[in-house]
Each structure stands twice: as C-alpha cells, then as structure tokens.
Structure 1
C-alpha cells in the first residue's frame, strides 16, 4: 500500500486478482488489446470519492468568478427517452431543432467481461447513420446546464442545447444534422465497471472495442469518428493509433498531452503534478482511479509505464482536423500532433480563443460538420480545398490576424535564425559573440534577462529553442525556466485581449541528454532515462524546447528572453540551490533559435 487509500492493483481488479491477458483473435489482424497493466509497473490506483445522484464536482471558484464544474451525476437508469423538437432544457440553452431519441446507460461488454456504459443519441426514427463518439473521464450524464458548468464568459450557453456533457459534441446539434452521438463513460467512470485509466494502451484498447461495438449496431452505417476537447481530444491519438477498422476520422480540440510524462507530469524533468492530482481527486465514482502523479513520485524517470502513455502518431493515417492554440503551459503541446500524425489528409486551425468558446462557436461547429460530412457521409462538399493550416497571428498591443492560410506546420518557408546571448550587455546579437562573459543569479529567486530590439516588423511563427551553457555554483543540479515576451519601447510586456503574452520552456540540468530518435532541429526532445549531475565548476550545454508561438514584433518593439530558477510560481516544484551561472560568447555560444517568416 502506497498511501492510506492507495493500492497497487492490476487494471482488472484489486490485488490478488489474476492478470488479464492481452486479447487478439489468431489471424484476425486485430492488435493485441491489453486489459491490465503488468504488475511490475507498480501503478497506483486510489479509491474515488463516493458517487451520489444529483451531486456535481467543481474546481474551487476563483475570487469574483464562478468556478468550473464538470457535471452533475443523474443516476443509473437504463431506458429510452424522447426529447421533443422545441424542448428548451434550461432557460439559457438552445431549443432542440428535431425530435431526439436517447438510449441511456447502454452496456458495452469489453474483452475481459467488464461492462462500461454509453448514452446513444440519434434523430428519432432514423438509423444507418454515421457515429460521433466522445470518450471522457467526467460524466456522460445529461442534461447539463452550460451556464452552471462553464465559468461565466467562457462560452455563450445559448450555443448549445443542454444535451452536451462536459467537452463533448452537442447531440442537440449533431443528431439534428444526421448523426448518432455516442457518449461513453470509460472503465471506472460513474457506473462503468473496472478501474479508471489515465491514458495508456488499456484505455485505448477499450476505446477500440467501443468503436467497433458502435459500428456494428443497427443504427450505424459502420463509420465512426471521434470528436471532443481537452481530455476528450487527447485520447483520440492513442485510440486512433490502434487503428480500429471502423474509425474513419478524428477531430480533436486542445490536445494538451500526447506524452503524459513530457507534456505534463515531468515536463523538462521537473515535477508538475498539481493540476493532474487536483483534477483526478475532484472526480467521483464507484471504483478506483489510476493516479499517475503518485506513480511519478516513485518512478520519476522514463520507463515502460510512461512509454505506454505516449501516442504513436506515426500509426495514425485517417483524416484529422486538429484545433489548438499557442500557450506557455497547458496549451504548449497542442500543435505538435499535426507534424507527428502520419495522415496525408490533415488540417490544423490555430485559434486565439479559449478552448470551449472555440469548440462551441456556431461557425466553428459548422466547420467541423463540413469535415465530418466529407468523411463519414461521403459528401462532395469541397472540404479538401480548405487550407491545410489556418492560423491566428498574434500582435500583442495591436490587432491579431485570423485565418491566415498556410500549406503545412511548421510553416515550410520558415527561416531559423540564431540570436546569440551576450551576458556582458544583456542583449541578443544576430552574430556569434566574440568575447566570453557570464551572468549569474540566485537559483531560487533570481533572473537573467536578454533583449533584442527589432528595427523592422518581424513575424516569428513556429517553434523556438534555446541553447544555454550553464554552471551551477553550490549545487549539483538546477532547474532552468525560460520565457519569451514582447515588450513595447517603454519596456512593458504587451499582451493580447485574450491574455496571451509569452511562450517558454524549462529543463532540469541533470536531464539534459537528448533522445536522438525523437528530436528535430526545431524541437529538442529529452530522454529522461538517467540523471547526469554536475560537478563543481562543470559547464554543460542545455537545449530547451520552447512552445510554439505566432507573433509579430513591430519596429521598435523588443523581444525579452528571461532565464530563471522558477518562472511558474506555484505550478511546478523546482529544486534549486546556490547560483545559476550562464556562460556566453567565445567557446560558449549560447543562442535563441527563432522561426522567422519573411
């Protein structure tokens, strides 16, 4: 037992239960679908708080604003419900445009005998329809009042019907446009049996089986897509990588994580478990839930368990429509899937809006429908003529440009230029710096700042990276955080109306070794296999990935690069002591690589 309420268990049940073997019919061509983690992985599962009918679970409200709620559980009650055209489920929501038939709490039996439950929505009296599936950890229970679920200002409740569970496609829209919508409570969620999985191949295998189940139902035309945001977007990569035969397209929104270790819990090798811990412990359910944050405390290096939570996007060849945004922290990895997914039929839209606002904005919903109509209904609607990339170019302090077209991401005409750090002047130079110099700061509280003033308008769109040469005086390791900001002539940081003002990255010095197979010139990826601590006086190179951005700097504005021991106060758990020393110039050519678009 790892804590008072935590247990090492197999995904199939409590300790002592027999391990469930991976399932694959001989000669079927179906991939092996594991139903449990190997016991050697030492995975922590924790008992959820009890599930009570009528109870919701929410994040604490911020001062002066409503908090985010994930939904209210309405109880287990398998039955058929007909929602009549014109029904308004809540005062603020959209009336239904057609009669909708809902089969509630439909059982899906998985390969190990575990039953999970789904709600199935379709236009009343119709069958042989394409299916959109949502797969999430919150609750599928509906109706849900969006004015209660989402913080004020995050979206307009009148855009949706009240039949949408948190972050799912709205059956009130999709069913009335000729789709069946299947919302699934995965293993361990609400009344679904088994223990809840946090990503990984067991969860993906369950999704594979649910898709094939849906494709075989009498109301299905055999074509299934996945759609949804955040967690409901993240799972799409791993499920699609197993290649369910009847999954024909995915439309993920805001995919914060495709590699749970690198993108979130141990980003840069620095523990970052607070959000994940809070989210999972907020949930309610009948069984246990996997708690990767606890596992990370015991297994902080990359291993087979963490590798299992990396989506193999090279196996995804079906059409994809991805929506993401720029961001320093949560949104930092949202655009990565586009250049990693193998599909030739893929589209990316980079938005400046908030996640849910963008997901449910009516014009965007129509855009998703054009994509899904093309691949699930076979309509010749001209979707392929849509630019492969449509992006927002941000101009903090000015006016953003929306729907700027491009043919690929990263942009094919990117010119990567190096701006060299000069500690003697605190500037960034377009040429290598001849004279060696250094800057140091208190590892816990200090910073080092380098600036460059643009003499003409310049667009930086894509991935940045920073090469540092560092020494840690008085310690054998150090955590390095970097931010890149745009400042006006007065030195004040500029931000957009949506609140975007910076990008950045981070790295623990002892985890500097690169994964050569995963790294690209524009994006260093670290191995995280073995710490390499620093000796006294040792100077080592760090290659730090910086989340992509799309910003324009006007002539006279400055780019400010800040290096610090903690740029995300209260978010991560850095471990610093002594002083950080940054070496520049001479044999230590430190530089910031910039994606310049002329």
Structure 2
C-alpha cells in the first residue's frame, strides 16, 4: 500500500473530461464529396441481425495515424538505448518481435508487437488490447496539455497509448503483448467497437499467446480507458488462460455511460475516437449508430460487458472526476462476482495515476501473485481504499473501507425550495422555478453546511418537471462545492471546479426496475414517452459517484440546466504532437546521434470529412419548469458518511 498526500499536477486534461455535456458538430455528405458510409448486416449473439453502419477512416500512412513501417521482424533493443528524445533509457536488453501474425477463429489475421526477456524461460504475459496503434498511433500523451502529469522520462516510449510500459515489465520478467485489434492499421477485417466479436478476438489472442514457447500459460490484461473497457468485455468471454485483470478506469455499458447517457444521443465521444483510427478497411461507424439507434436495442445490448461471467482476480482502479469512466468502473467492481477483487479510488487522473511509480509497483505485486505465483502477501492488501476530495484543503488518500458504496452511508434528502435553496424539510406549499432554455446556466439551489460533512457515493435528483413550449426536455444536472463566500473552488490539477453530473432526456425517464437501486437509478431506454402540454412528470436523474468533504460554512450547489452541445475545440488535439523516433531501427544510443523521423503533427486530418456525424437537433424549446414543495417534493438525495 502506498500514500500520496497531494495532487501536484497543475494542468491536466483527461480524455473525455469536457465531452460529457454534448455532441460534436460536423457535416454529413458535403457537396462534392462521395459518402463512404455503408451498412452491413451483423448477426448478434441472440441470432438477430442488425444493419450496422461502417465508413472509411484514416489510412495507416496518414500523418495523424503516426503508424510504423509494416515488417515482421525480430531485434534486440539494447540496455541504455532510448526510443525517443528524453524518454527513459532501457534498463535491460529486450527481445522485440514486430508485426507478429495471429490467426483468429474465422481465419482473419491480426498483428501484434511482443516485448520479452532475452532468454529461453517461460514468462507471464500482459496484453494491452486496443485499435489505437501498437506503436504510438493516433493518440499519444504528448497531444494532451502537460502530458496529463506524466513526465517524458517516466516511461520509455515503447508503450502503446494507455498501456503498460514494456521497459519496466520486461525488466521484471514479463512479456508485453500489444496487438492491433481487428481492422486496425494492417490487421485484417473491419475495425469494430467492443461487443462479442471484438471480445472473442481478444479471447483468441490470449489463447494463442498461452501456447507460445515463452509463455507460462498465465495471461493478464492491463491499461486505461479503451484498454480497460476491453478487459471487461474480454474477461466476460472467460478465456481459459486469462488469469487476472487490472481495469484502470473504463465503462461497462456503452449506451448508458457514454454514447446515449441519460437517453441523449451524443456522438461527440465516438466521433472524436473515430477520427484517430487508421485502417486498411472499414471502421464501424458508431457515431452514426448513436444518432440512429437512440433506444436500447440488440446493437447496444451487445455493447454491455458480461460482468456476471468474471470470476478471476481483478484489481480495479477508479476516480470520481472522469465523466466517461467513473460510473462504469464502480459498476464493474460492484457487479463482478469474483471473490478476489480490489478497488482503489485515486485523486488524480487515469494516465497520471497509471504511470506513477507507486501504483506501478503495486500493480506488479498483484500480477506477481496471480500470474507469477509469487507468495507476496498480496491478498492482505485492503479490499477497498478510497480518496475523498477536498478542494481548498487536503484530499484524503488511500482510506481503507469495507466496500463501495460505503456500508456506513446514510442517504439524506435535501428538498428544493422556491427561493433556490436546499433544505432538510420539504416546503408545505407547492411552487415552481422556471428558466428559458436560452439561459445556458439554468437555475441553481444552494445550502450551507453547519458542520463538517462528507458526501461519498451515489447522488440522485428526484424532481417534478414540466416543458412549456416543447414535448420533451434535455437536462443536465450537476453538484459542486463552493467556498464560504459562495465562489467556485478551482481544482489543484486542472484549475477548474470539480463537478459531478447527471443527464436526462425526459421522454426516456422510465427506469429499468431490475438494474436500478434507490441510490443509482438506471434508465430502461426502451421507449419514448413525450410530454403533453401542462403535464408534470417525476424524474430520477443519476449523478455519478463522488467523494467530497465539506467544511462548516462551505456550500453545496445543485444546478439544473438545459443540455447543450459544447465547442469541439474543448477536446484534446489528438494527432497534433510531433513525435520524433529513429528513422531506422527502433531505439538508439543517446550518446550517438542517428537519423530521426517525425510522426504526427495534423490533428484535423480525417479519413472521410464529408461523413462526420452532425449534432442531433436539440429537443429543448421554450421554458423548463421545476415544481417544488407540497405534492411536488423535489429533492436531491446525497450520501452522508457517518464518522467512524
């Protein structure tokens, strides 16, 4: 176990941190450009057929793709050499096998890079599964302001984006497997997004790896974001030789947690990701599926991980501040039936935490135990450790708990009042608060704490709403901490206030009764119920988990506002960074200059710009009315943590 007292990064951008509030603008079928969009029938696991959109993306030669020369070969990367200027030198010799072919169950051939010790021994292996490119690729930390807190010399540059650093792991006796999944770069087939086909491709690759002469038969998986989502899905297919996973922030339900969160079709995140993919073939046009399949159907059911099948050991790492991954990471931990599972909630960001020395060492202890058979007392590691954020003060880090949600949670209701306050008691008389949808900040409700209070866990808004001038409403709700003067408190890392959000398209307000809990309502999204003039309806809006400390005199503010699309310039400029690597070979002696080449430098390059998916029209018109008090006792339910 390790402790970090402070979050030191002054500027960090987490992938998706500004995406959750809207959809990416664009054009579709621009004049003079032929569309590349096609549909293909896809048979789902239940036997039903869905027509799925596909389109062209970047070519592997595109500058933004930052691809490598395709060549199946082996070489020794010598200790002391570096991959790129400023990167960490290798501490040992590494046998690098490049573009190794792997044949999948249907005959499709994909290609993987393998980094392993230079010996004849059998080793445990860790696979990092994604389509981003096994060598640099369309996304790279240098594209992100401040490299998200990861110094250049913290890693060797051998790692694929969001994956484990081969230089570290090979030095400790591991093999790192970095595949380009189906359709990515030179891998055969069409590039797809998660689901059963993608998961079984990962399963095939794990079983292939376990049969290699260098394998001890135990394969693990690791990585952030897409690489975490892949772990949930691949582990759900139960590969025989997958021995342990380490999901480090990633969603489990693509429809509810990113694409159509709250029932609002949001192509921004998949469109952003799509723009970084490179393929010789077609790419699943998930942005178009987002705006054309706006209810939970067989297509989206296939994009839900089979958590119920995961019984292997899992070391799960979460945070409260990732609007793409927070909910799914906690849901994954809660729902997998594995008896050997651990949760750690950090207080920085997914990339910074993943590459810091202490978490890396702890992850190795986990894998040493379950992949290497080392008796190292890993199982004595506390099963749940959390952080509690405290902007303006010092965060709590690595506090040991029994479970999540915390067993000592007491859910309390704060009732919305007509004077825009929150109170422990509902108002006796019914009233309303309204705002025009042209007012982007909507309306807010505030309360002041009369004693130090911790709110850690799931929050929800139960409200009575009415649309004046429309038959639907699209809402965003958020909670945040204010100082004693009612001012926002900037986060130490980003300089922005920490907010926890929820979303709802009111016509999709019906809940899934099997999946919902009192503290975490889950939408069914199987039908639309449009509003009638003057109709007041109750809604439950899930606000993703947060751990926050409020001191006496500080304030909690709830904001309810009309959902609106953000400016696309708020997303990281993936592909912009110019990455310099050797023109020949793979690593070089920094004391002996060699010819170099530059990759990247074009964040606007898109495979088929005429086919970028546009923002769906807003359903917000006229005025939103919130009913409070009397028979309309709208409230914010918060998770109050009793002092031990």
TM-score by length of 1: 0.90
Does residue 1:46 correspond to 2:64, yes or no?
no
Alpha-carbon displacement from aligned partner over 1:66-87 (angstroms, at most 9, x marks no partner): xxxxx62112100111111222
Give the CA deviation at 1:570.
4.1
Relative to structure 1, the CA distance from residue 332 to residue 144 in structure 2 (aligned partners, 3 Å threshold; closer, same or farther) is: closer
Query: What is the total number of aligned residue pairs between the two structures?
Result: 559
Higher relative contact order (CA 8 A, sep 6+): 2
Separation in structure 2 between the aligned mates of residue 445 and residue 184 of structure 1, nearest angstrom: 48
Separation in structure 2 between the aligned mates of residue 517 and residue 193 of structure 1, nearest angstrom: 40
550, 575, 581: which one pairs with 2:619?
Answer: 575
Separation in structure 2 between the aligned mates of residue 481 and residue 140 of structure 1, nearest angstrom: 37
Partner secondary structure for residue 366 of structure 1? helix
Give the CA deviation at 1:347.
1.1
Aligned to 2:633: 589
Separation in structure 2 between the aligned mates of residue 149 and residue 159 of structure 1, nearest angstrom: 16
275, 285, 308: which one pairs with 1:281?
Answer: 275
Partner secondary structure for residue 595 of structure 1? strand
Aligned to 1:136: 130
Give the CA deviation at 1:93.
1.3
* 1:151-230 equivalences in 2 (<5 Å): 151-154=145-148, 155-230=150-225
Relative to structure 1, the CA distance from residue 77 to residue 209 in structure 2 (aligned partners, 3 Å threshold; closer, same or farther) is: same
531, 538, 555: which one pairs with 1:541?
Answer: 538
Separation in structure 2 between the aligned mates of residue 219 and residue 322 of structure 1, nearest angstrom: 28
Aligned to 1:508: 505
Separation in structure 1 between the aligned mates of residue 336 and residue 50 of structure 2, nearest angstrom: 28
Separation in structure 2 between the aligned mates of residue 78 and residue 170 of structure 1, nearest angstrom: 21
300, 316, 340: which one pairs with 1:306?
Answer: 300
Separation in structure 1 between the aligned mates of residue 67 and residue 97 of structure 2, nearest angstrom: 17
Aligned to 1:16: none
Separation in structure 2 between the aligned mates of residue 147 and residue 203 of structure 1, nearest angstrom: 25
Separation in structure 2 between the aligned mates of residue 223 and residue 557 of structure 1, nearest angstrom: 51
Aligned to 1:241: 236
Separation in structure 1 between the aligned mates of residue 298 and residue 548 of structure 2, nearest angstrom: 38
TM-score by length of 2: 0.83
Alpha-carbon displacement from aligned partner over 1:405-435 (angstroms, at most 9, x marks no partner): 1121111111111111112x21111123322
Give the CA deviation at 1:309.
0.3
Aligned to 1:532: 529
Alpha-carbon displacement from aligned partner over 1:379-409 (angstroms, at most 9, x marks no partner): 1111111111222211111111111111211
Partner secondary structure for residue 213 of structure 1? helix
Does residue 1:442 correspond to 2:436, yes or no?
yes
Partner secondary structure for residue 275 of structure 2? helix
Alpha-carbon displacement from aligned partner over 1:176-203 (angstroms, at most 9, x marks no partner): 1011111111000010000011111100
Give the CA deviation at 1:566.
2.5
Give the CA deviation at 1:516.
0.7
Partner secondary structure for residue 135 of structure 1? coil
* Aligned residues of 2:41 and 2:50 also touching (Cα < 8 A): no
Relative to structure 1, the CA distance from residue 147 to residue 279 in structure 2 (aligned partners, 3 Å threshold; closer, same or farther) is: closer
Separation in structure 2 between the aligned mates of residue 414 and residue 390 of structure 1, nearest angstrom: 16
Root mean square deviation of aligned Cα = 2.1
Aligned to 1:15: none
Alpha-carbon displacement from aligned partner over 1:31-59 (angstroms, at most 9, x marks no partner): xxx7xx9783110111222221xx542xx
Partner secondary structure for residue 335 of structure 1? helix
Separation in structure 2 between the aligned mates of residue 146 and residue 85 of structure 1, nearest angstrom: 24
Aligned to 1:67: none
* Aligned residues of 1:439 and 1:582 also touching (Cα < 8 A): yes
* 1:304-343 equivalences in 2 (<5 Å): 304-327=298-321, 329-333=323-327, 334-343=329-338
Separation in structure 1 between the aligned mates of residue 343 and residue 438 of structure 2, nearest angstrom: 39
Relative to structure 1, the CA distance from residue 275 to residue 190 in structure 2 (aligned partners, 3 Å threshold; closer, same or farther) is: same
Separation in structure 1 between the aligned mates of residue 631 and residue 325 of structure 2, nearest angstrom: 36
Give the CA deviation at 1:329.
2.5
Q: Which runs of 5+ in 2 are unaligned?
A: 1-27, 569-614
Separation in structure 2 between the aligned mates of residue 143 and residue 188 of structure 1, nearest angstrom: 14
Q: Which runs of 5+ in 1 are unaligned?
A: 12-18, 23-33, 58-70
Separation in structure 1 between the aligned mates of residue 235 and residue 53 of structure 2, nearest angstrom: 26
Give the CA deviation at 1:561.
0.6
Aligned to 1:562: 559
Does residue 1:363 correspond to 2:358, yes or no?
yes
Relative to structure 1, the CA distance from residue 48 to residue 225 in structure 2 (aligned partners, 3 Å threshold; closer, same or farther) is: same
Aligned to 2:473: 478
Alpha-carbon displacement from aligned partner over 1:464-505 (angstroms, at most 9, x marks no partner): 011000111121111111110111121111132023521110
Give the CA deviation at 1:591.
0.8
Relative to structure 1, the CA distance from residue 146 to residue 510 in structure 2 (aligned partners, 3 Å threshold; closer, same or farther) is: closer
Separation in structure 2 between the aligned mates of residue 328 and residue 563 of structure 1, nearest angstrom: 20
Alpha-carbon displacement from aligned partner over 1:74-111 (angstroms, at most 9, x marks no partner): 12100111111222222311111111101111111111
Separation in structure 1 between the aligned mates of residue 272 and residue 547 of structure 2, nearest angstrom: 31
* Aligned residues of 2:191 and 2:279 also touching (Cα < 8 A): no
After TM superposition, the structure 1 stretch with the greater mean CA deviation from structure 2, 155-164 or 505-514, is 155-164
